[in-house]
Amino acid sequence: PKTDIVFLKVHKSASSTVMNILFRFGETHNLTFAFPKGGGFQLYYPHHFLAKFVQGFSPLSPRRFNILCHHMRFLQPEVQKVVPNSAIYFSILRNPVQLMESSFVYYKGASAFSRVRSLEEFLSQPWRYYDPASGDRHYARNLMTFDFGFNPDGDASPERVQLMLKAIEASFDFLLISEYFDESMVLLKEMLCWDLDSVVSFPLNSRDSSTKSPLPDSVVEKLKAWNRLDWEIYTHFNRTFWERLDRLIGRERLRREVRALRQRQAELA
């Protein structure tokens, strides 16, 4: 089994559930974790990650940690200083429509959201409420783009989008999709050469299983346009997710494995 792992914990994307799976696996196998300095749950987020944010890291010692999985804003050259070169990099994405709905509820205190009564109101005139210079702007626009280390207010031209997608592909071995959580766990198991019990989970910060949004279509379109970079990331990697599953596992075996996983979860629940 693979034991050197970097998990980019994207906000509001079932990532706490994945993190718990990694914690459990790490504890079972006596692996080391790159914990945030001074305790806490985040690696000095929303700053770009720096190796010095990790408890016990020293530029003078070659010490490496097996697993890095706390909230961070991704910056690969710094991440590489704290994990072995052989580490597997992965993350999990969520449909930006549900992601933003969730952010709006969860980060209601964020400066962009605090003066509006609803997401519709925000999206009707986002620039009235959104300040690109505010320190918490990322909660209100292209949150996944931000967590991956890019500019959430960046240009969404096809060229720039392609560069961003290529950069993510160059850094990450695979990305999971939270709407297909069980299928994602089957892929995770395959990519990390783990057994079924290692990827059994019990959802934390519960996920909404419906992908149908209660928002009116016109609002959904505005939301996608406002989070254009996130939408590009999501649609691209949702496609490659299924391509990878088809290539590595095939639909027939995938169905069997998902069934086995759900059965095991029911037994342990």
Q: How do residues 104-147 score in pLDDT, each as one tens digit?
A: 999 999 999 999 999 999 999 999 999 999 999 999 999 999 99
pLDDT of residue 257: 98
pLDDT of residue 210: 52
DSSP alpha helices (H): ranges in the chain? 15-28, 76-79, 96-106, 119-124, 126-129, 143-147, 158-171, 181-192, 217-226, 228-248, 251-268
Q: For position 141, which CATH number holds? A: 3.40.50
pLDDT of residue 211: 47
Alpha carbon of 114 to those of 137, 201, 215: distances in Å? 12, 34, 20
Residue with tokens 């003078």: 60
Domain extent at residue 79: 5-268
Bridge partners of residue 92, in order along the sequence: 176
Per-residue pLDDT of the chain (269 residues; tens, 9 = 90+): 999 999 999 999 989 999 999 999 999 999 999 999 988 888 999 999 999 999 999 999 888 999 999 999 999 999 999 999 999 999 999 999 999 999 999 999 999 999 999 999 999 999 999 999 999 999 999 999 999 999 999 999 999 999 999 999 999 999 999 999 999 999 999 999 999 999 999 876 564 555 455 789 999 999 999 999 999 999 999 999 999 999 999 999 999 999 999 999 999 98
Q: How many domains does one find in the chain?
A: 1
Structure-token pair, residue 111? 């400066």
